[in-house]
Amino acid sequence: SKMASVLTQTSESKLDKNNIGKLNLSNGSADVVENYEGQYRFAPIQEAQVSRAMIKRYFEAMYDRVVSDVVIVGAGSAGLTCAYHLAATRPNLKITIIEANVAPGGGAWLGGQLMTPMVIRKPANRFLQEIGVPYEDEGAYVVVKHAALFTSTLLSRVLAMPNVVMFNATAVEDLIVKEDHAGQQRIAGVVTNWTLVALNHDTQSCMDPNTITAPVVVAATGHDGPMGSFAAKRLVSAGLLKELGNMRGLDMNRSEPAIVNNTREVAPGLIMAGMELSEHDGRNRMGPTFGGMIGSGIKAAHEAIRVFDS
């Protein structure tokens, strides 16, 4: 048939050069049949189109976001909340999220100790109302039935924002540090590599990274871990911070307000949010309550706007 002959060819002539997402088939959508009784027929496609659909968009986004307005490092609960609030408040900012893991979300897929319900202290429940996450009201706190409901909703709201681009499976492995005319060190972007490359620096010869410049970087990489607390640790090794404060023991009532109220520009051009701040400042951890991460993310968005506008 005509369709079969087209499908076996992968010549450039059959691909629409101006719009790689479209196939040059006159009978294209006419052949689509949605019938689950054995007649389901997909619109035809060529393998080359699939590759080009991804490559074109990925590298165009990368090309564009080399110059970003705000880079958010880490897509855990703090980083994602920051991204949402920032993107919603300032739709003209180019916000780029870099997440080392394949799966964004950080520690917020579970409530605590492999258990699924997620506890959020008031008044951070207002953010749940804003993004449309239902919860049970327990008075001083609320409970979302599954942490993944919070994280997947937040993630979908963030990724639907036209001004947000997220590169996951990509690690920030250094900061760009510039000296301004007064001789002050200023964070001016991030140094990135695909995480699988970054994890192989010890086994392969030099694999140089890439850069993303931005006047504002928000670090939200969590407490110490294989890659966590990246910016706080790098500030120390780069001589921009004397020493790490190190995360202190658990105290929910001390920890959450301390993290939110101290979310700030810790070095010129670098805002720190979430549990990374506990390592930087030496603050208590809160364990499995997430209101502090939400509050810190929103505060970081306010700080990002202040620094960007200054």
Contacts of residue 44, Cβ cutoff 8 Å, sequence gap at least 6 = 3, 6, 7, 23, 25, 28, 31
- Does the protein bind ligand AHZ through residue 101 (CB under 6 A)? yes
- Does the protein bind ligand AHZ through residue 210 (CB under 6 A)? no
Tell the smallest beta-carbon distance from residue 37 to ligand AHZ (Å).
Answer: 43
- Does the protein bind ligand AHZ through residue 295 (CB under 6 A)? no
Amino acid letter at 82?
C
Whole-angstrom distance, CA of residue 33 vs CA of residue 30: 8
Q: Using the rule CB under 6 A, which residue among 65, 121, 223, 233 binds ligand AHZ? A: 223
- Does the protein bind ligand AHZ through residue 78 (CB under 6 A)? yes
User: Could you please report the per-residue DSSP string of 39-59?
Assistant: T-BPPP--HHHHHHHHHHHHH
Q: For ligand AHZ, which is the closer residue by CB, 6 or 71?
A: 71
Q: Which residue has the tokens 């001589």?
A: 239
Q: For ligand AHZ, which is the closer residue by CB, 79 or 188?
A: 79
User: Could you please report the per-residue DSSP string of 76-124?
Assistant: SHHHHHHHHHHHHH-TTS-EEEEESSSSTTTTTTSSBTTB--EEEETTT
Token representation of residue 43: 């619109």
| CA distances, 56 to each of 60, 62, 134, 183, 228 (Å) | 6, 10, 38, 40, 31
The reply to whether 197 sits in an annotated binding site is: no
- Does the protein bind ligand AHZ through residue 142 (CB under 6 A)? no
The reply to whether 172 sits in an annotated binding site is: yes
Q: Using the rule CB under 6 A, which residue among 46, 125, 221, 263 binds ligand AHZ? A: 221
- Does the protein bind ligand AHZ through residue 74 (CB under 6 A)? yes
Question: Judged by CB under 6 A, which stretch of 32-40, 104-112, 152-160, 261-269 contacts ligand AHZ?
Answer: 104-112
Q: Which of 231, 237, 233 lies closest to 273, judged by CA?
A: 231
Whole-angstrom distance, CA of residue 296 vs CA of residue 135: 21
- Does the protein bind ligand AHZ through residue 76 (CB under 6 A)? yes
Of the CA atoms within 13 Å of residue 73, those in its CB half-sphere come to 32
Binding mask 105-134 for ligand AHZ (x = CB under 6 A): -xxx--------------------------
Token representation of residue 52: 């080009």
Number of residues that bind ligand AHZ (CB under 6 A): 31
Site for ligand AHZ in 81-100 (CB under 6 A): 98-100
Residues that bind ligand AHZ (CB under 6 A): 73-79, 98-101, 106-108, 171-172, 220-223, 227-228, 230, 274-276, 285-287, 290, 293
Binding-site residue set for substrate: 78, 99-100, 107, 172, 208, 223, 275, 285-287
